[in-house]
Amino acid sequence: MSCKDSPTMASPEKEPDFLVPLAPGNKWTFRVTTYHTAGDTAYVGTISFHIGSDTIVQGLHWYNYVYDGPSAGSEGYRNDEWGFHETNWESIWYSYPYPSKVGDSISYYKVVSVDTSLITPFGKVKCYQYQFLWFGFPMNTFIAPHIGIVRQESAGIPFGSITPYRSQDLDLIDYKLY
């Protein structure tokens, strides 16, 4: 049977709807705010990250997420049918389920909201809110589908203490996608 004899034409499969757009050259710039243990602001500046390249590791397609400027290395990012994943290439691996509903969880992060609205320099965006309890302290990551991480709230523990505190916030102030 030839193609013209075929009663229907096969249509290409739809591209998966990924949480974080990953392509070499994609870049995100954040305002970084660090805090003293008492909660007052210690530092405010900017930091940028970009997708430097892609690679195959153990048969999986990863993207190298690197810091602009001096860097101690890179992280690996990937999307798949389970969601968005990041690794430091050694022992840490975080996964953010997507698509998902409140209560879904893979590894450390749990979905606590699928419709958190955040105001950014480029307008109001709808985010998934993921939460990881680190020594009982909530660390939140807000990810807008098709944009990436919009806000991240991190915790730290001072030397000699067992009490975590909010140590750093990252707020997306600009991005460029290819």
Q: Specify the pTM.
A: 0.85
The per-residue pLDDT string of the chain (178 residues; one tens digit each, 9 = 90 and over) reads 334 443 433 333 443 489 999 999 999 999 999 999 989 999 999 999 999 999 998 899 999 988 876 655 678 999 999 999 999 888 778 899 999 999 999 888 999 999 999 999 989 999 999 999 988 889 999 999 999 999 999 998 888 888 889 999 999 999 999 9
Strand order in the sheet with 105-106: 93-97, 83-87, 74-80, 60-67, 41-57, 27-35, 165-176, 148-156, 137-144, 123-134, 109-120, 105-106
pLDDT of residue 25: 95
C-alpha 149/C-alpha 34 separation (Å) is 18
pLDDT of residue 85: 93
Identify whether the C-beta of residue 38 lies closer than 8 Å to the C-beta of residue 166.
no
By C-alpha distance, which of 89, 81, 77 is closest to 49?
77
C-alpha 150/C-alpha 126 separation (Å) is 10
Residues 6+ positions from 31 with CB-CB distance below 8 Å: 44, 45, 46, 170, 171, 173
